[in-house]
Structure 1
């Protein structure tokens, strides 16, 4: 692993180990509501602080974009920016459900270079480096060989924080369901995307995500031989928040199935 990747892994494990320990005393956490169905706890904030401290010690001049801390520092001439979700799946975590993750990505000059998704409950570490492939612990990852939607397992997430695109999403859900695949909604987009890279899911789509939800997972899919785009097939997923990923053929089938049901007001 490169020194940058080593730092990302160290930070992800530090946050994940903290979340595991804190998960044994959830009743002590202070929980706040940031918006409709959108919660933050002491655990989120402390996990992010630990990640940021590790990155700052190694690379004090790098910019950081975190879910809880927002943008920190300016992107300098080297163009390095870390994109962090210290606890993706907060609602699951606060209810003792074992589906949450730590997501850390490094973007250099607007190009994703490193992606790490850590599932502390299963001790599963997904790591991708641009041009060097993706791994789960010590195993090389490859997206599945699924070639069509019929019989595929597809991950998704509901637009639960904002109902702005709920009608469009509901129509896409119905269309994908009718294509004969199994749909799973687990509650951590970062982990869902990592599962596409691992071949556990054959595809994934969701509307209304944030960069920290998807950055690491997007690189994992690409380095595992899959395809990931925005919901109209372009390269603006990090800007629009609408993402589709999967094997080459499943990705295209998802796009073809979803596109007719997108509202005109959905970001292109």
Structure 2
């Protein structure tokens, strides 16, 4: 097993790790799980921790010299300049999961390279090698094809709100033009950016500070970019460095329209 994992390309390693985490999340679903308070209303469960350990096991077997930054365990290993760092969010949507809602994701991203987002309950894994992007269903890979045809826009309404008072996502939803052009959705999980890349959503909008190195968002950003989406911060700049928040749109027209609403 270890020898075969060591031969995997980075994208297949990301898929294998995401599957491992998703298996834990699926198996633990519906059980009463111990919680650990993180403060500010956030918490982690035993499923988060176990899923991260399963993911780490795959990464260690395939790439023992790589560093890992996990939401639950922090950084393990050292990513020297030019080194390889995996960003791991083993269960995005913990509150959803804890109350019996299946809208959750398992996120894996190699900084600047491959990434995977797994839906533990549909069995789908969205993934990229850094250049192109696919979804794997029942062992079959299909290229991701973003489209704005659904008109559905997922908007993250959860705190913090570093853009306020200049920008608040809830104000976007209240705009007349938004209601005329789009239909809002709020799922509170980073499955949403993957759905934009797959053509299941027209766009995704969230407030926040620099998200490019975030364990929550790195995989979704990588997928959207590889699929050909337009990805910026809410300020129109790249979602890194001094950028803020995220606007991931299926096409340039949708992105332009959303940015005009955000600026207004």
Question: Could you say which TM-score interval applies, normalised by the shorter chain?
Answer: 0.7 to 0.9
CA distance in 2, matches of 1:200, 1:35: 34
Could you tell me whether the CA contact under 8 Å between 1:214 and 1:238 is conserved in 2?
no
Query: In structure 2, what is the equivalent of residue 216 of structure 1?
Result: 219
Q: How far apart are 1:216 and its partner, in Å?
A: 0.8
**CA 1:240 to 1:95, structure 2 compared with 1: closer, same or farther past 3 Å?**
farther
Residue 228 (1) aligns with residue 206 (2): no
Aligned pairs for 1:1-268 (under 5 A) are 3-25=9-31, 27=32, 29-107=33-111, 111=112, 113-137=113-137, 138-146=141-149, 152-160=151-159, 162=160, 165=163, 167=165, 168-169=167-168, 170-175=170-175, 177-188=178-189, 190-208=190-208, 211-237=214-240, 240=243, 242-246=245-249, 247-260=251-264
Could you tell me whether the CA contact under 8 Å between 1:134 and 1:223 is conserved in 2?
no
CA distance in 2, matches of 1:226, 1:204: 11
**CA 1:133 to 1:2, structure 2 compared with 1: closer, same or farther past 3 Å?**
farther
CA distance in 2, matches of 1:43, 1:241: 30
Q: Which moved more, 1:10-19 or 1:77-86?
A: 77-86
Runs (5+) with no aligned partner, structure 1: 261-268
Task: Provide the aligned C-alpha RMSD in A.
Answer: 2.2
After superposing on structure 2, the runs of 4+ consecutive aligned residues of structure 1 that deviate more than 6 Å are none
CA distance in 1, matches of 2:53, 2:241: 23
What does the per-residue CA deviation read over 1:32-84, in whole Å, with 9 as the maximum and x for residues that have no partner? 22122312111111111111121122222212111111222221354211011
Q: TM-score, normalised by structure 1?
A: 0.84
**CA 1:256 to 1:237, structure 2 compared with 1: closer, same or farther past 3 Å?**
farther
**CA 1:239 to 1:83, structure 2 compared with 1: closer, same or farther past 3 Å?**
farther
Could you tell me whether the CA contact under 8 Å between 2:162 and 2:208 is conserved in 1?
no
Could you tell me whether the CA contact under 8 Å between 1:237 and 1:243 is conserved in 2?
no
Secondary structure at the aligned position of 1:130 is classed as coil
CA distance in 1, matches of 2:15, 2:263: 37
The structure with the greater share of residues assigned to helix is 1
CA distance in 1, matches of 2:45, 2:90: 11
Could you tell me whether the CA contact under 8 Å between 1:114 and 1:130 is conserved in 2?
yes
Runs (5+) with no aligned partner, structure 2: 1-6
Could you tell me whether the CA contact under 8 Å between 1:155 and 1:201 is conserved in 2?
yes
Q: TM-score, normalised by structure 2?
A: 0.86
Could you tell me whether the CA contact under 8 Å between 1:159 and 1:165 is conserved in 2?
no
